[in-house]
Amino acid sequence: MLGVITGFIDELRAAGVPVSMVEAIDGMRAVEAIEIGERVALRETLRATLIKNQRHERAFDTAFDVYFSTVPLPDSTPIEEGSRPDLPPPDRGDGSERAPFDIDALLDDLLQALARLDEEAMRRGARTAVDELAGMEPGRPVGGTYYLYRTLRRLDLADLEARLIEALMEDEDLSEFDQRLLREEIETRLERLRQEIEEEIRRRLVADRGRDAVARTLRRPLIEDIDLMHATTRDLQEMEAAIGPLTRKLAARLARRRRKRAGRLDFRRTMRKSLATGGVPAEPQFRHPRPHRPEVWLLCDISGSMATFSRFTLQFTHAMATHFSKLRSFAFVDTIDEVTDFFGAGVDFGSALQRVTTEAEVVWLDGHSDYGNSLETFNTTYGRQLTPRTTVIITGDARNNYRPPRDKVLGEIAEAARALVWLNPEPRAYWDTGDSAMSHYAAHCTSVHEVRTLRQLEQFIEELTLPGTRASQNA
Amino acid sequence: MNLESPRSVADALRSVDYLPDDRISQVVFLANRLDKPILVEGPAGVGKTELAKSLARITGRDLIRLQCYEGLDEAKALYEWNYKKQLLRIQSDVDHDWGEIEQDIFSEEFLLTRPLLEAIRSEAPVVLLIDEVDRVEVETEALLLEILSDFQVSIPELGTMAARTQPIVVLTSNNTRELSEALKRRCLFLHIDYPDAQREQEILAARVPGLSEHLAAQVARVARSIRSLDLKKAPSVSETIDWARTLLALSIDDVDEEILGDTLHVLLKYQTDIEKAAKELTSSPRA
Ligand SMILES: Nc1ncnc2c1ncn2[C@@H]1O[C@H](COP(=O)(O)OP(=O)(O)OP(=O)(O)O)[C@@H](O)[C@H]1O
Ligand SMILES: [Mg+2]
């Protein structure tokens, strides 16, 4: 078992989950304290000791299924490793020895199991379904999804769903409202069945090919390593949870000033307090240091080439709006418009996004990126409102459709602001290739960063140091 | 009560009306077995704080709570010298030499214990709840590390003070900020999410006396349905409990679209969320 746990930890690391030495040892030690032959106990013990971030739980679950699929579940018949006929012999075509399989009987069993929410029966049904319908062949180099698809097609879940609805709705005289709630309940039960089948297939693949090989094919990048330019909607939704803490960290970074301990001594309050101690100033009172309110302006390229990334940056903007009282945001394609008012407290992201895409005036000519015009328009319209406390952050790929970069204006913006930071979602190696004018713009920036993933965004925030505001330098 | 297996932990928690899932009871069992702190993370109102309170209840221990906030410092979390008392002692004593006085005024008698030190010094074992730890600054987190790993506190004038008894330590976080790796490494991590409909129904049955099974099932299903929408703030368990209580107070025994529409504001706090949920749940069902 210890060997398997080591392999499992290696797999987690290979998938990008940071498991430290200390945590690995903790995990092993914790496993010694539990009933090892029980899957749920083992899973939750390893999870609590090895995973310290909810974002990594999906990778954990996938790998756990592969490495420990043969550990029995509580209250169920044990599954012996290797000794069971995991894979039926390849069909020899004569079909002589096997009793004909009765799919209707299986469907009836499954229907019963789903209606009564009998997990053990569901699992048994899933096992039979995979036995009979998946047509798994040893050594065949196809993935689990292929077998899953084959099994589900024969099972016809849609039909099963219809029968389940009928079965559960017949005895009660349900209102339309209740029917709808029941439908959702049924969907979750079917999803459970689907997962059971998937797990069963995975278990057999593991028996056939070994844990490491199966784990490798199932490995997906962690959410923080997914390329922001190619993230799916679901990825983006998952990222949303991570963005909140990140923006708070950024807010704290930007607010940080040169270290000064508590504020100045408050002489009057100290003296007044000292009356309680016979005039001895026993508790010096300090003025609270005035909090530094950072001003941030975000300029986001929302052109077509940036579709996915700009959704991400707008999510980021949205989260920022809740942490910064002084955030202004702008969107641009070939010209620029302020979108600050679309975000803020009490607004959900969906409607903010909707307003940015329908109301913001970001297209002037042809809807192809024009950084030069956008920046010049920005400077003429808003440039005078920049102050030495403003940090300007531009997000975009600097792909200018071979138009002149007109980067001089960026120098003026940088001059007027506290700092100018550029975040580019393209790999550094692509900068300045084709129509990218990155180095023209980079020349005027305080710093430029490749931000292709959540991890890189985190790193950028972690390492950010900006010049102190000029006001405070003079003081 | 005995916490000798995950199952007995689960039974004990249930007996004080806290409904755990497998994960919660396993982690509590481990924490007790390995003497490790638990870091509980999850959205608002899923029972993080309540878990610590329930642990105190089932073990018969006192609950010592350190509520974290921005700006919390050592003097409020750990200990502070009682200046006033020290000063009075100095003024009232003219006979002894300074060396003696100094030793005297930096003794435990002049110490104002704050929650962390209190937990360490307690004669009887306690449950220490460090609530919403993500609210303190990273620098303040360092304060906690010594306590979490060795259950001891160093006070320059007094030396190291070790725990007299082993506390059960629970930290909670809403994850508004990433906690430091050092802190996480010392803890068992427990992410609590919204309960599934079945467990939520059980929670409702335990927490809202007089609620019919039918209504509890409806409330739990509506909550699940609403949480699947893309909202600014999903309803928490405490909000579904409030909603169930409201329905009960209005003598409603069956929820329909109209009643839902009229009482959604108990479940949801934002107007845009209320509108969205009303639109999704009270229109005719999808085909
Ligand atoms: N598993 C549970 N069993 C019984 N009651 C529960 C459970 N989970 C939540 N509750 C109920 O929900 C209420 C809110 O829980 P609690 O205050 O612990 O939330 P929390 O996670 O600490 O939230 P916050 O992040 O807002 O502090 C509790 O008072 C309790 O009534
Ligand atoms: Mg709480």
CATH code at position B58: 3.40.50.300
Is the backbone of residue A232 left (phi > 0), alpha (psi -120 to 50) or beta?
A: beta
Which residues does chain A have within 8 Å of residue B88's beta carbon, measured at their own beta carbons?
Answer: 277
Q: Is the pLDDT of residue A93 over 60?
A: no
* Reported confidence tier of residue B283, pLDDT bands at 50, 70, 90: low
* Reported confidence tier of residue A424, pLDDT bands at 50, 70, 90: very high
Identify whether B226 is part of a domain: yes
Residue A327, pLDDT score: 87
Identify whether B57 is part of a domain: yes
Is the backbone of residue A260 left (phi > 0), alpha (psi -120 to 50) or beta?
A: beta
Identify whether B285 is part of a domain: no
Q: Where a domain ends, among B191, B214, B241? A: B191
Segment A314-360, tens digit of pLDDT: 888 888 887 777 889 999 998 899 998 888 766 777 778 888 888 88
Entry pTM: 0.80
Q: Is the pLDDT of residue A49 over 90?
A: yes
- Report which bound ligand comes closest to the CA of B202: 1
Q: Is the pLDDT of residue A99 over 70?
A: no
Can you say how many angstroms the Cα of residue A259 is from the centroid of all Cα atoms in its chain?
A: 34
Segment A354-394, tens digit of pLDDT: 888 888 887 776 778 899 999 999 999 999 999 988 999 99
Residues A38-49 have a mean pLDDT of 94
Instruction: Give the mutation candidate from B88, B132, B188 for the A interface (greatest A CB count, under 10 A).
Output: B188
Please tell me whether residues B147 and B263 are part of one structural domain. no
Q: Return the higher-pLDDT residue of A6 and A322.
A: A6
Q: Into how many domains does chain B fold? A: 3
Please tell me whether residues B97 and B119 are part of one structural domain. no
Is the backbone of residue A139 left (phi > 0), alpha (psi -120 to 50) or beta?
A: left
Please tell me whether residues B32 and B126 are part of one structural domain. yes
Q: Whose CA is nearest to atom 23 of ligand 1?
A: B45
Residue A290, pLDDT score: 58
Residue A258, pLDDT score: 44
Which residues does chain A have within 8 Å of residue B257's beta carbon, measured at their own beta carbons?
Answer: 176-177
CA dihedral B202, B206, B211, B217 (to 10 degrees): -10
Q: Which residue of A has its CA nearest to B85?
A: A277
| Cβ atoms of B92 and B67 closer than 8 Å | no
Please tell me whether residues B128 and B54 are part of one structural domain. yes
Looking at residue A340, what DSSP letter applies? Answer: G
Segment B129-138, tens digit of pLDDT: 999 999 888 7
Q: Are strands B159-162 and B188-191 parallel, antiparallel or unpaired?
A: unpaired
The enclosing H or E element of A295 equals: strand A295-301
- Calculate ∠ Cα B23-B24-B26, nearest 5°: 65
A and B: number of Cβ contacts within 8 A: 121
Please tell me whether residues B134 and B266 are part of one structural domain. no
Go through chain A and tell me how many residues it has.
Answer: 475
- Share of residues in chain A with pLDDT > 70 (%): 86
Please tell me whether residues B105 and B127 are part of one structural domain. no
Which residues does chain A have within 8 Å of residue B23's beta carbon, measured at their own beta carbons?
Answer: 44, 47-48
Residues B120-126 have a mean pLDDT of 91
Q: Which residue of A has its CA nearest to B184?
A: A52
Q: How far is A120 from chain B (nearest CA, A)?
A: 17
| Cβ atoms of A194 and A152 closer than 8 Å | yes
- Mean pLDDT (chain A, rounded): 83
Identify whether B171 is part of a domain: yes
Please tell me whether residues B222 and B273 are part of one structural domain. yes
Residue A475, pLDDT score: 32
Please tell me whether residues B230 and B166 are part of one structural domain. no
B145 near A CB under 8 A: no
Please tell me whether residues B210 and B254 are part of one structural domain. yes
Identify whether B37 is part of a domain: yes
Quote the CA–CA distance of A205 and A211 in Å, as a whole number.
8
Q: Is the pLDDT of residue A88 over 70?
A: no
Identify whether B1 is part of a domain: no
Residue A263, pLDDT score: 60
H/E/C letters for each residue in A29-84? HHHHCCCCCCHHHHHHHHHHHHCCCHHHHHHHHHHHHHHHCCCCCCCCCCCCCCCC
Quote the CA–CA distance of B28 and B54 in Å, as a whole number.
11
- Mean pLDDT (chain B, rounded): 89
Quote the CA–CA distance of A230 and A209 in Å, as a whole number.
31
CA distances from residue A374 to A17, A336, A394, A406, A447 in whole angstroms, order as listed: 41, 5, 12, 10, 20
Residue A193, pLDDT score: 92
Can you say how many angstroms the Cα of residue A148 is from the centroid of all Cα atoms in its chain?
A: 26
Please tell me whether residues B128 and B156 are part of one structural domain. yes
Identify whether B287 is part of a domain: no
Residues B163-175 have a mean pLDDT of 92
Q: Please give the distance, rounded to the nearest whole angstrom, from the Cα atom of residue B84 to the centre of ligand 2.
A: 35
B178 near A CB under 8 A: yes
Residue A406, pLDDT score: 92
Please tell me whether residues B146 and B45 are part of one structural domain. yes
Residues B55-83 have a mean pLDDT of 90
B237 lines ligand 1 (CB under 6 A): yes
Please tell me whether residues B120 and B255 are part of one structural domain. no
Q: Is the pLDDT of residue B32 over 60?
A: yes
Residue A89, pLDDT score: 47
Residue A91, pLDDT score: 47
Segment B199-250, tens digit of pLDDT: 999 999 999 999 999 999 999 999 999 998 878 889 999 999 999 999 999 9
- The ipTM value here is 0.91
Segment A246-272, tens digit of pLDDT: 888 887 777 765 444 456 667 777 777
Instruction: State the residue range of the domain holding B272.
Output: 197-280
Is the backbone of residue B21 left (phi > 0), alpha (psi -120 to 50) or beta?
A: beta
Residues B133-156 have a mean pLDDT of 85
Q: Where a domain ends, among B158, B191, B224? A: B191
* Reported confidence tier of residue A83, pLDDT bands at 50, 70, 90: very low
Least confident of A18-22, A89-93, B6-10, B182-186: A89-93
* Reported confidence tier of residue A468, pLDDT bands at 50, 70, 90: low
Quote the CA–CA distance of A452 and A438 in Å, as a whole number.
15
Strand, helix or coil for residue A328: strand
